[in-house]
Amino acid sequence: MTEFSHLVGEFESFVQGYGVLAVTIILTLEAIGFPVPGESLLIFSALMASRHEMSLPALLISAWAGSVIGDNIGYLVGRKLGRAAVTRYGSKVGLTPSRFDMIEGIFAKYGPVTVIFARFVNVLRQLNGVVAGTLGMHWLRFLAYNAIGAALWVGFWVLVPYYLGGHHVFATIAQKLGWAGAIAAVLVFIALAYAGLRYFRARSGS
């Protein structure tokens, strides 16, 4: 919890200092492959927007732009360097050959639509563009699917916390527990909602 609070504190100072530009930069780095917790950043920024400390439209646009730009840089790296070079140097940042094989298998199974749902899966999100590039996916196709996936991902992780941030109960949690507690509360709510959705889907399919 201490490390999480420290991370949130770093987000707070950077985002408050540079606004939506900081959001764009951080999400661009995450999309290239850097181990940056983009979802926590979006939640924190959404809470700022709910407190009128940041423009919601500007946040949505900047977050989407950073995600798309980063993924396209990753695509270019994968396309130009190729699989061998990416795995050789990528192992230094966690892109091991076994992990690369796993992601390639997912792309082979689900095709271009992987670019969309990969946004919601850690590791897949960071390496999405790189793998699409090494596999030789057509750039325009990747661009279209990537733009859609980024819009859905950003919309979810910004609008849900933003909506909750305007409620009295959530505001009370934020005041008593601070930013770390507020973000943790949103994560718990989203996890419960996701679990409930899976449960009802399973029930309806049985």
- 46-53 mean pLDDT: 87
**Which parts of 19-55 fold into alpha helices (H)?**
20-32, 38-50
Q: What is the pTM of this model?
A: 0.73
Kindly report, residue by residue over 70-124, the tens digit of the pLDDT: 999 989 988 887 777 776 666 665 667 777 788 888 888 888 888 888 888 877 7
Question: What pLDDT does residue 127 have?
Answer: 81
| Rounded distance between C-alpha atoms, residue 204 and residue 63, angstroms | 35
φ/ψ of 26, rounded to 5, equals -65, -45
Kindly report, residue by residue over 29-44, the tens digit of the pLDDT: 888 877 777 888 898 8
Q: Tell whether the model's pLDDT for residue 61 goes beyond 90.
A: yes
| Rounded distance between C-alpha atoms, residue 179 and residue 130, angstroms | 33
